């Protein structure tokens, strides 16, 4: 079974480790509509195509139609559950639910926030009990697993023309994250990118350094120049055994050509040169070059980011949602920083990717939705261009745009280094969904132990990954029986 053939929801609370500094919150009258029979939106999307002579701008008009009522309707209630997210996201989606009443007066969207950590168990129990919501917004890793039990609704089976209209708005690689067995199961609002690094713009400008870096060697040269211990180290990288920290290393290894499994999914391949090089890079940054503050194995994502925003380091490594921490009130700064995908080695030994990604707020319909056509119209309303604009920094920070129209109106200054690539259609080329397959959660826990053994000098990177290979293979063999 290929690694991407069967995704499994294994993403824990993506904001785990933020500490107390951030709290992620969470009769049958007949109505006559007075609105026109349909709202036809024309979105002009400009994408830049680089030629040898000049940059040409291609203009594409995307037309989408959402039908509004002109005949009497019995009142309809749609239950929507939102799993996880930051306060600004909750406010926006809750506001969309309220605004929908103005578009379809006979429809009431009941919005409720649900716990991210227990979402899988909660949704499964509610589906089996017949009490699940009509629509939800959550991550996409669980789509194949819930499709297998008949819980998620293929959107083409509700209205193929409507889905085709929406698909045109997204980058193909992004749409692939909501596609399973040829059917579409959700509408993304943004993607989280793993792995990325952030840099303090004034610090690097003062040192004459201009990211993004081409490869690890290019980055290391800059880090050695920036390193001024003990007052300021060059970079912080979270290396605890927390989930986010393990995912960060996993993203670096994948960008260097590493993969967890062979093509058929039967063999663990975690001790290949691509993985060994990535772990050796970690070890050298800590022990040889000493460009990371002491005690990295006890510094989780939040602590590592805190070092960056308190100017104890010039760069930090994390995920694309670092700006969300600032908006949520975890940090207060008055200086500029930017983000870019983490580079690979100069000569990657395996197939490289620019990054891994996952849309963690995707609108999905349950197969038990009582009125599927109305549920789909609500979902489409929620991803209108003016709504998706909110996730491009207009209301919600730290969310990577996933459509050309979002990138055109991006207000996340931290993403400016990526904007040109996005508008040229190059940013997502080669990007893949986060690895999700049966056993991945257990394997990632083992990876956390292995990479710390190498960082602490208990084993060489090759020895640590050889041990991980044996343990991980036993897990996969057990699951495949």
* DSSP-assigned states of every residue in 298-344: G--HHHHHHHHHTTSEEEEEE-TTHHHHHHTTS----S-EEEEE---
Name the helix (H) or strand (E) containing 473: helix 461-480
pLDDT at 380 over 70: yes
What pLDDT is recorded for position 18? 40
Share of the chain above pLDDT 70, in %: 85
Tens of pLDDT along 145-192?
A: 899 899 999 999 999 999 999 999 999 999 999 999 999 999 999 999
What pLDDT is recorded for position 36? 32
Q: How far apart are CA 458 and CA 455, in angstroms?
A: 8
Share of the chain above pLDDT 90, in %: 76
Contacting residues for 400 by C-beta, under 8 A, at least 6 apart: 190, 191, 192, 193, 320, 357, 415, 418
Domain 31-191+359-433 shares a fold with domain 194-356+438-480: yes
Q: Report the pLDDT averaged over residues 91-106.
A: 96
Q: How many CB atoms within 10 Å of residue 458?
A: 10
Domain extents in the chain: 31-191+359-433, 194-356+438-480
Name the helix (H) or strand (E) containing 48: strand 38-50
CATH 2.160.10.10 describes domain 194-356+438-480:
no
Tens of pLDDT along 215-257?
A: 999 999 999 999 999 999 999 999 999 989 999 999 999 999 9
CATH class of 31-191+359-433: alpha beta
Tens of pLDDT along 67-91?
A: 666 566 899 999 999 998 889 999 9
What is the gyration radius of the CA atoms in the chain, in angstroms?
Answer: 23
Residue 398's Cβ-count burial label (10 Å; 0-12, 13-18, 19+) is: buried
Tens of pLDDT along 422-473?
A: 999 999 999 999 988 888 889 999 999 999 999 999 999 999 999 999 999 9
């Amino acid at each position: 079974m290929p690694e991407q053939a069967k995704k499994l929801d294994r993403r824990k609370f993506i904001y785990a480790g933020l500490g107390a500094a951030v709290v992620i919150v969470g009769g049958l009258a007949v109505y006559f509509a007075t609105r026109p029979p349909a709202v036809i939106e024309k979105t002009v999307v400009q994408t830049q195509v680089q030629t040898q002579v000049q940059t040409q701008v291609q203009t594409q008009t995307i037309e989408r139609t959402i039908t509004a009522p002109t005949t009497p309707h019995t009142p309809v209630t749609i239950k929507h559950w939102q799993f996880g997210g930051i306060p600004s996201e909750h406010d926006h989606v809750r506001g969309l639910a309220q605004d929908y009443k103005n578009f379809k007066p006979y429809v009431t969207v009941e919005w409720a926030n649900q716990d991210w950590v227990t979402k899988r168990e909660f949704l499964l129990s509610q589906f089996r009990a017949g009490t699940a919501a009509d629509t939800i917004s959550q991550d996409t890793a669980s789509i194949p697993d819930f499709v297998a039990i008949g819980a998620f609704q293929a959107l083409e089976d509700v209205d193929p023309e409507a889905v085709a209209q929406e698909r045109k708005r997204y980058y193909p690689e992004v749409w692939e994250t909501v596609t399973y067995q040829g059917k579409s199961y959700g509408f993304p609002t943004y993607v989280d990118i793993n792995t990325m690094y952030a840099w303090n713009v004034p610090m690097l400008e003062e040192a004459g350094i201009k990211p993004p870096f081409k490869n690890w060697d290019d980055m290391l040269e800059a880090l050695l120049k920036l390193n001024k211990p003990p007052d300021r180290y060059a970079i912080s990288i979270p290396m605890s055994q927390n989930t986010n920290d393990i995912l960060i290393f996993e993203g670096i290894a994948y960008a260097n050509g590493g993969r967890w499994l062979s093509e058929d999914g039967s063999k663990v391949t975690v001790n290949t040169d691509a993985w060994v090089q990535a772990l050796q890079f970690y070890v050298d940054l800590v022990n040889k070059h000493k460009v990371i503050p002491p005690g990295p194995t006890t510094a989780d994502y939040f602590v590592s980011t805190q070092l960056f925003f308190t100017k104890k380091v010039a760069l930090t490594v994390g995920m694309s949602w670092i700006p969300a921490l600032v908006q949520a009130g975890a940090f207060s700064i008055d200086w500029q920083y930017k983000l870019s995908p983490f580079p690979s080695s100069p000569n990657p030994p395996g197939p490289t990717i620019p990054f891994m990604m996952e849309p963690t707020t995707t609108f999905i319909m349950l197969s038990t939705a009582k009125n599927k056509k109305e549920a789909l119209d609500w979902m489409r309303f929620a991803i209108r261009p003016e709504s998706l604009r909110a996730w491009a920094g207009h209301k919600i920070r730290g969310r990577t745009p996933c459509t050309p129209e979002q990138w055109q109106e991006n207000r996340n200054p931290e993403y400016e280094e990526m904007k040109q690539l996005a508008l040229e259609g190059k940013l997502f080329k080669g990007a893949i969904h986060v690895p999700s397959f049966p056993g991945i959660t257990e394997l990632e826990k083992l990876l956390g132990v292995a990479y710390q053994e190498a960082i602490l000098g208990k084993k060489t990177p090759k020895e640590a990954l050889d041990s991980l290979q044996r343990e991980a293979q036993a897990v996969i063999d057990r699951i495949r029986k």
